[in-house]
Amino acid sequence: MNDDRAFLRHTLATLAYRGGKATRGAQAAFAEFKASPGTRTPIAILCHIGDLLEWALSIARGEPAYVERTPQSWEGEVQRFHGRLQDFDAFLAGSEPLESSAEKLFQGPIADALTHVGQIAMLRGVHGEPVRGENFYVADIESGRVGEAQPPPNREF
């Protein structure tokens, strides 16, 4: 596996860890919370992240296609998030050619997804159920671990 693919796999594991932390244990009402009239709900943001991950994989395969899905249930979108991460990670772990540069994949859909995970974490706090801060530098993040099961934090504050 080349360095680009290895780095992208680590970014997906980071996204899974941070996204899992931001979504895990959210109250049922959180999914439809609106911070203001013009903002997306957390479930709409999470659905968009799933769309971004599907788009990223289509780009990586050389067949770019962005499809905007309709949000389902909160738990369904959490499962979709991790499922799309697993699909993309499996592609990167395989031997099929990468039809895009790692830099473009990172600067577009992956960085966008990381930004939106931060929005969900911030909205949890606004909703009254803050996500504890953490030293992510020492987090137990491992390439290939992109499912819902993530290790506990090493150092929260």
pLDDT digits (tens, 9 = 90+) for 82-110: 999 999 999 999 999 999 999 999 999 99
Q: What is the pLDDT of residues 132-141, one digit of tens each?
A: 999 999 999 9
pTM strictly above 0.85:
yes
Residues 59-64, mean pLDDT to the nearest whole number:
98
The pLDDT of residue 1: 75
The helix-helix angle for 3-23 and 74-93 (nearest 10°) equals 170
Q: Among 1.10.287, 2.60.90, 1.20.1070, 1.20.120, what is the CATH number of 3-25+42-138? A: 1.20.120
The pLDDT of residue 30: 98
Cα–Cα distance, 136 to 146 (Å, whole number): 16
Q: What is the pLDDT of residues 30-54, one digit of tens each?
A: 999 999 999 999 999 999 999 999 9
Cα distances (Å, whole numbers) of residue 124 to 75, 120, 132: 16, 6, 10
Q: What are phi and psi of 147, to 5 degrees?
A: -80, -175
Residue 146, pLDDT > 90, answer yes
Q: What is the pLDDT of residues 62-81, one digit of tens each?
A: 999 999 999 999 999 999 99
Q: What are phi and psi of 156, to 5 degrees?
A: -95, 160
